[in-house]
Amino acid sequence: MKKLKELISTYKDFPKKGINFKDVLEIIQEPEVFNELILKMSASQILKQSEAIISIDARGFIFGSAIALKSSKPMIVARKPGKLPGEIVTEKYNLEYGENSLSIQKNSLRKYNSFAIVDDLLATGGTVECVANLLNRYDKKIFGLLTVVELVGLKGRRKFNFPVESSVSF
């Protein structure tokens, strides 16, 4: 896991001035590091206690699908507007650089009662809080959040009443 931090690039002023964007995509270009990361995340108690994984659009899908495959857990997706067919439930949230919303297919929530949330990065916690609000609306249990990167200075984890496990902190 030592090499993991080296594979995370920082892009200044992206997507807008004042934001230092942490890019995790180089990790998936290094199969050995990616595999080690997925093995580590798949071994989490958070995941073991949960019936299903819910991954957040878009880079969360990369890690969530690999973890789902490795752990033999079903994966539900939380998508940005206009991306899911069927009956959906939607929640708005604020980003460090704007506003957005996430949607989940309602029928996928009926199948499972407990979840591990997976995303690539935890910053201010807005997207994860959005997913948590959606799950709480349907009385679903959240066992925790698994994330590759956490920007600890932004204190996003303070918004949650569930555990957070991050593989790398900045």
Is residue 23 included in any domain, yes or no? no
Is residue 28 included in any domain, yes or no? no
Q: Determine the structural domain holding residue 54 and report its residue range.
A: 44-169
- The Cα 116–Cα 27 span in angstroms is 22
Mean pLDDT over each residue of the chain, to the nearest integer? 95
Assess whether pLDDT exceeds 90 at residue 15. Answer: no
- Average pLDDT on 12-18 reads 90
List of E strands, the chain: 9-12, 20-23, 52-56, 75-78, 88-95, 98-105, 114-122, 141-150, 164-169
Q: What pLDDT, on a 0 to 100 scale, did the predictor assign at position 97?
A: 63
Is residue 27 included in any domain, yes or no? no
- Average pLDDT on 13-30 reads 93
- Average pLDDT on 67-72 reads 98
Is residue 144 included in any domain, yes or no? yes
Is residue 34 included in any domain, yes or no? no
Report whether 121 contacts 22 (CB < 8 A): yes
Q: What pLDDT, on a 0 to 100 scale, did the predictor assign at position 21?
A: 93
Is residue 80 included in any domain, yes or no? yes
Q: What pLDDT, on a 0 to 100 scale, did the predictor assign at position 169?
A: 96
5: amino acid identity, one letter: K
Could you give the number of structural domains in the chain?
Answer: 1
Percent of residues, the chain, with pLDDT higher than 90: 91
- Average pLDDT on 106-133 reads 96
Is residue 164 included in any domain, yes or no? yes
pLDDT digits (tens, 9 = 90+) for 123-158: 999 999 999 999 999 999 999 999 999 999 999 999
> Is the N-terminal amide bond of 74 cis, ω within 30° of 0?
no
Is residue 21 included in any domain, yes or no? no
CATH number, domain of 78, equals 3.40.50.2020
